[in-house]
């Protein structure tokens, strides 16, 4: 009975300790408001239109243009970018559309899966593209091209287009969402700063008397709702602690079962 009470108390305390960790690691179910989503796209990396994950950015442009957007992605997230292109009704030939995603260093990121390039036949009403990136890592080697926390750029354009259809007006919708991969994707390291263009460009007047005389150039102002992750904490620590506690409880239970009652055996007379 005593062993049972000890095991029950230990499991109860472990449950109370694990619950907050799981609550913190659960991604938010409420998407960002579409009311603040951009209705125009940029024409280069520097003018990329910013939008939050969960928002639907819209834009109208002419076929042949390059359209750019940007959104923030944090460690342990696996972003998926989707684009729906509503093709011009006057198109007379087929067209090939391509969706590219770049990180804060403007390195093109490979799609883990998805239809990154698709061809629309003449007369098609729309075409849908998607790109699911690899899981964003909190830290990586300098020579690697792993996705890292920071700003991600989306570029949409046509790669094959008939000359007669060049310049026709089309509209598009772009949306980015992420799946939280949890501690299984955690690494032992963290960037000192996320890869946000301009985050390290700071100028300040010497001997300034107030904060108004200082300025910070940040080309991308968006970040995750709960801030950038520190990179060292994940639910992997919870599972490690859980495994240690279960191993200790198993040892206690095994000892209780094998040590016997502790009383000397009855030895028959004359033995």
pLDDT digits (tens, 9 = 90+) for 24-69: 433 333 445 566 899 999 999 999 999 999 999 999 999 999 999 9
Q: Classify the C-alpha dihedral 108-112-114-118 as positive or negative.
A: positive
**Within-domain flag for 51:** yes
Instruction: Tell me the mean pLDDT in the region 105-116.
Output: 94
pLDDT of residue 224 exceeding 60: yes
Give SS3 for 34: helix
Phi, psi dihedral angles at 202 (to 5 degrees): -130, 135
pLDDT of residue 86 exceeding 80: yes
Strand partners, 180: 77
- Select from 240, 60, 75 the least CA-distant residue to 146: 75
Highest mean pLDDT among 109-118, 140-149, 216-225, 254-263 belongs to 109-118
State how far the Cα of 90 lies from the Cα of 203, in Å rounded to an integer.
Answer: 51
State how far the Cα of 111 lies from the Cα of 101, in Å rounded to an integer.
Answer: 8
**Within-domain flag for 54:** yes
**Within-domain flag for 198:** yes
**Within-domain flag for 158:** yes
- Select from 66, 18, 29, 70 the least CA-distant residue to 180: 29
- Select from 112, 121, 207, 107 the least CA-distant residue to 150: 107
pLDDT of residue 96 exceeding 50: yes
Q: Classify the C-alpha dihedral 45-50-53-58 as positive or negative.
A: negative
**Within-domain flag for 268:** no
| Number of structural domains the chain divides into | 1
How far are the Cα atoms of 14, 15, 107, 198, 230 from residue 238, in angstroms, in the given order?
10, 11, 34, 36, 17
| CATH number of domain containing 49 | 2.60.120.380
**Within-domain flag for 155:** yes
Give SS3 for 13: helix
**Within-domain flag for 239:** no
What's the pLDDT at 143?
83
Q: Which helix (H) or strand (E) holds 93?
A: none
pTM for this entry: 0.70
pLDDT tens-digit map of 233-247: 556 566 667 778 888
**Placement of tokens 């075409």 in the chain:** 127
E strands present in the chain: 49-50, 56-62, 67-73, 77-86, 95-102, 117-120, 126-132, 150-161, 169-180, 201-204, 214-217
Give SS3 for 16: helix
**Within-domain flag for 104:** yes
Report whether 128 contacts 73 (CB < 8 A).
Answer: no
Range of the domain at 122: 39-205
pLDDT of residue 97 exceeding 60: yes
């Amino acid at each position: 009975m005593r062993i049972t009470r000890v095991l029950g108390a230990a499991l109860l305390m472990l449950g109370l300790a694990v619950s907050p960790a799981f609550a913190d690691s659960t991604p938010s179910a409420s998407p960002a408001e579409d009311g603040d989503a951009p209705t125009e796209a940029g024409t280069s990396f520097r003018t990329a239109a910013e939008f939050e994950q969960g928002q639907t950015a819209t834009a109208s442009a002419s076929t042949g243009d390059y359209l750019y957007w940007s959104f923030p992605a944090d460690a342990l997230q696996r972003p998926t970018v989707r684009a729906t292109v509503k093709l011009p009704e006057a198109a007379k030939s087929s067209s090939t559309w391509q969706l590219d995603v770049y990180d804060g260093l403007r390195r093109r990121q490979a799609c883990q899966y998805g239809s990154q390039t698709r061809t629309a036949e003449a007369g098609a009403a729309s075409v849908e593209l998607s790109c699911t990136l690899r899981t964003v890592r909190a830290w990586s080697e300098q020579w690697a091209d792993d996705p890292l926390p920071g700003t991600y750029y989306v570029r949409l354009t046509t790669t094959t287009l008939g000359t007669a259809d060049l310049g026709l007006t089309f509209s598009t919708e772009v949306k980015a969402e992420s799946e939280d991969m949890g501690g299984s994707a955690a690494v032992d390291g963290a960037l000192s700063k996320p890869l946000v263009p301009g985050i390290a460009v700071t100028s300040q007047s010497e001997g300034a008397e107030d904060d108004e005389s200082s300025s910070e150039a940040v080309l991308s102002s968006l970040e995750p709702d709960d801030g950038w992750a520190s990179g060292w904490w994940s639910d992997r620590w919870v599972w490690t602690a859980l495994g240690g506690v279960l191993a200790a409880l198993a040892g206690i239970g095994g000892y209780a079962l094998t040590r016997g009652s502790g009383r000397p055996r009855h030895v028959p007379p004359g033995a």
